[in-house]
Structure 1
């Protein structure tokens, strides 16, 4: 039987001895390090690390490993997480009329590329809008958006989030602006795919904005959702070249492909504990 694998991620004020303390502790506990990545943010004076290890002791448990690591974390004032890699995250998907990102995520999930459990789908359009998709037994929540009843709709949305016990909320082209109250509740566990190369062309109709400016590159961006619209820490981006021949509609079509792959990469990063928050930025440890 293969040994259980665990991943620890951490950030803390930078100082000598962190790597030696962490790796030495894991070795002393009878663990074998499989992957190790680190980054020193010299501007911020912070240190970031991700380690994947296998527990060779047959009686090793997640709770025991976490308890043993706590003194190291306290010594270096760490923000940290230690997780069993076999544990599947629960992801709640929010979507509006455009469903290309939803369709792509469902496909990658069903083929096993995205190792997660879909806790549900929340849409502000009725289920019939997505009748060409196989939603199977995935819980579907129709919460119509109404400007005059935004607070009531968000209260229902928060109910769904809590009841679904999701680890991550993904705005898969969910074209509604979340309130400050809700974004605060979801801090660090809500990701948006923005159909533009941020920080340019924020807000609505970014491809039309880009077309009016005659850009030669368009892109898509994933970021953590914060109270400031499209200003959250950026996680992943990609681009495609366009020309003066391309209309705004052409850019939207090209952009759909970029959005799908950017969101998929982001989900893979998140599910494999490769994204660490760093103030207004992120540290993303590449596979």
Structure 2
């Protein structure tokens, strides 16, 4: 009769509800035994760091670019995605790039929270958020003075213009009086550049004021004024020099010409009294 002698191993493995514990069954050949090894599972969620855009930045109708650094020291990255509408739409990506234009266009102007997510191969998730601003509105430009049709002489006129923007800050303000050949920036209301004004011929002058905001939206307003540096011509037809008159005041005939004539007057007492007239 032959008896077979051996070792029977009854292996009881306890279950662990924690995701951080796993069970290894090791075959120890040298010691002719089975070993149960319970040790902490390697675990660390991904890291998500937003390089750009930066918080508080303003952007116009064109969707912004983004740079985000995502890594995991233990487990491979499985998926990366972002949302700009609170999770209503989640857009996956594999490399840095540009926010989806259609999603960006659909959003109203104002503050936008951009959130980037990443998970690893064991479904651990991390995220990072940044608040930016969308501004597609143009600045408002309102000219208070000069008013249209005003006349000015050789001295450049003053100007008052009100410029504002409900979204991003005003970046630059400028004006031109020569159709854009020369653009003059300004920061406060003041006087039209004298050299530019002097260089213009008499006649209508179009003054255009511009402004743009920090994301490049721009707007303008214009007013047409008149430059007139020529004096009127005044020619006395009568009375003539040396004539004598009695107690009755003499009549007069005077020819005055100017395209922009405003007021006519005379004096017989050296200017102590000035008497206006409209006809001879």
The TM-score, its normalising length taken from structure 2, stands at: 0.24
Higher relative contact order (CA 8 A, sep 6+): 1
Q: Which has the higher strand share?
A: 2
Larger Rg: 2
The TM-score, its normalising length taken from structure 1, stands at: 0.24
Q: Which has the higher helix share?
A: 1
